[in-house]
């Protein structure tokens, strides 16, 4: 019997490629759609090497309605995991229209094509950014959404609202909104990982690029936050744990309807200075850094209460911070230039 296919938009990217791997390893048939604007075809080749299967891949854009309609008419798709979006907070302030077009209009197109094809199972890649500056931590889903501090965050909140309205309008929809905290780490093989184009803006890629010598020193934004040591506190989560959350959400969707919201985090927060110290202890590499003023839009601290995902999905993050750092560093040191380092050099690393 032919297996139904899960469409993964943005499946060549950081979280998308790890989710594709998890789904394939769980025996699912996947189809990856990605416009490669912030990802590499090489990630698909690496997925094929890791899974010993051919991974169906289409280079294309969720803004292309005709392409989406064609995909749904050619493949027997029964669920979609939707990652395809732009994600730089800084760029979103400079080019808001790109963010609304890609993220919001792209999701609108996707939902239209899904409805026409009568595919109603959707997992959406959301973010803790929808909570804005939370009134209290840990953050529970029923805290309600807040005011995101930038256009990127507002696109995530708009999409959540759009999807909620959609599910209210038609009970056939079953939609999961997964609110990620701070995804880091990489698959333990060191074959796939985070490969930002240009200068990275997230903490872990900056740390690993300082360690490998691509960036001379780390800038720590802000030293006067009301936190344990004055630097911002975040809930870092291993990307493979996150991918597992998508598999569990997909399984849950098929037996439910309406909108379900789940936080995916570890429930533990680390400050920027604690991250630097842990990175140094795990890798043995000293990270030069200097303090700079606060970065616009950063909140002091946030970490998850992910017990709802525990109760309802049977999911919990299993990998600790040491494991996240070991895996991030393995990926970076095996691939100093990201996917452009192909083929994977097998030199020794600490
Ligand atoms: C940001 C977004 C989040 C998004 C995520 C992934 C906001 C408020 N946050 O998370 O929605 O999902 O990126 O793209 O919209 N830091 C440094 N030096 C650096 C880099 C970061 O000190 O060179 C600090 C930051 O100030 C922050 C922490 O490290 O306190 C984590 O930063 P980052 O990895 O960019 O994630 P967030 O800002 O939490």
Ligand 1 pocket test, pick from 10, 202, 272 with the greatest ligand atom count within 8 Å of Cβ, gives 202
The answer for residues whose C-beta is within 8 angstroms of residue 93's C-beta and 6 or more apart is 150, 151, 296, 297
Q: What is the pTM of this model?
A: 0.96
Question: Per-residue DSSP letters for 43-107?
Answer: HHHHHHHHHTSPPEEEE--TT-HHHHHHHHHHS-EEEEEE--S---HHHHHH-HHHHIIIIIIHH
- Give the Cα separation of 341 and 42 in Å (integer): 10
Q: Whose CA is nearest to atom 33 of ligand 1?
A: 202
133 lines ligand 1 (CB under 6 A): no
220 lines ligand 1 (CB under 6 A): yes
pLDDT of residue 3: 76
Centroid of ligand 1 to alpha carbon of 200 (angstroms)? 10
Phi, psi for 82 (deg, rounded to 5): -105, 100
Map residue 112 onto helix, strand or coil: helix
Ligand 1 pocket test, pick from 234, 265, 276, 291 with the greatest ligand atom count within 8 Å of Cβ, gives 234
Structure tokens given for 349: 């690393």
Cβ neighbours of 255 (radius 10 Å):
7
Query: In this prediction, what percent of the chain has a pLDDT beyond 70?
Result: 97
Query: 160-205: per-residue pLDDT in tens?
Result: 999 999 999 999 999 999 999 999 999 999 999 999 988 899 999 9
pLDDT of residue 347: 41
Q: Whose CA is nearest to atom 24 of ligand 1?
A: 203
CB under 8 A, 24+ apart: contacts of 85-92: 85/10, 85/125, 85/155, 86/37, 86/38, 86/152, 87/38, 87/152, 88/152, 88/201, 89/150, 89/152, 89/153, 89/201, 89/297, 90/201, 91/152, 92/150, 92/151, 92/152, 92/155
For residue 218, give the ligand 1 atom closest to its CA: 23
What the chain holds in terms of domains, given with CATH numbers, is: 5-340 (3.40.50.720)
For residue 88, give the ligand 1 atom closest to its CA: 14
pLDDT of residue 350: 34
Q: Tokens 């294309």 label which residue?
A: 60
Which positions of the chain have pLDDT values less than 70?
1-2, 342-350
Query: 69-79: per-residue pLDDT in tens?
Result: 999 999 999 99
Half-sphere exposure of 325 (CA within 13 A, CB side): 20
Map residue 191 onto helix, strand or coil: coil
């Amino acid at each position: 019997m032919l297996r139904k296919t899960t469409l993964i938009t943005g499946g060549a990217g950081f979280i998308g490629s790890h989710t594709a791997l998890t789904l394939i390893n769980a025996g699912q048939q996947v189809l990856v759609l990605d416009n490669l604007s912030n990802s590499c075809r090489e990630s698909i080749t690496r997925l094929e090497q890791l899974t010993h299967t051919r991974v169906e891949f289409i280079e294309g854009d969720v803004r292309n309605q005709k392409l989406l309609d064609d995909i749904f008419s050619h493949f027997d798709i029964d669920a979609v995991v939707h990652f395809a979006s732009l994600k730089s907070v800084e760029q979103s302030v400079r080019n808001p229209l790109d963010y609304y077009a890609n993220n919001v209009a792209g999701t609108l197109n996707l939902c239209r094509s899904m409805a026409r094809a009568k595919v109603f199972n959707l997992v959406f890649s959301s973010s803790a950014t929808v909570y804005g500056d939370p009134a209290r931590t840990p953050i529970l889903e029923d805290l309600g959404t807040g005011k995101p501090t930038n256009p990127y965050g507002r696109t995530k909140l708009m999409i959540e609202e759009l999807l909620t309205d959609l599910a209210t309008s038609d009970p056939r929809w079953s939609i999961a909104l997964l609110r990620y905290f701070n995804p880091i780490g990489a698959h333990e093989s060191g074959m796939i990982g985070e490969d930002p184009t240009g200068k990275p803006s997230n903490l872990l890629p900056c740390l690993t690029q300082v360690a490998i010598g691509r960036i001379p020193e780390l800038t720590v934004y802000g030293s006067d936050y009301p936190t344990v040591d004055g630097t911002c506190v975040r809930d870092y989560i291993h990307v493979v744990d996150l991918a597992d959350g998508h598999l569990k959400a997909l399984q849950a969707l098929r037996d439910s309807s309406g909108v379900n919201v789940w936080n995916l985090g570890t429930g533990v927060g680390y400050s920027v200075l604690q991250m630097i110290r842990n990175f140094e202890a795990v890798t043995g590499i000293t990270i030069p850094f200097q303090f700079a003023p606060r970065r616009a839009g950063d909140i002091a601290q946030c970490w998850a209460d992910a017990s709802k995902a525990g109760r309802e999905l049977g999911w919990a993050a299993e990998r600790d911070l040491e494991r996240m750092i070991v895996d991030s560093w393995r990926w970076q040191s095996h691939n100093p230039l990201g996917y452009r380092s192909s083929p994977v050099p097998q030199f020794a690393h600490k």
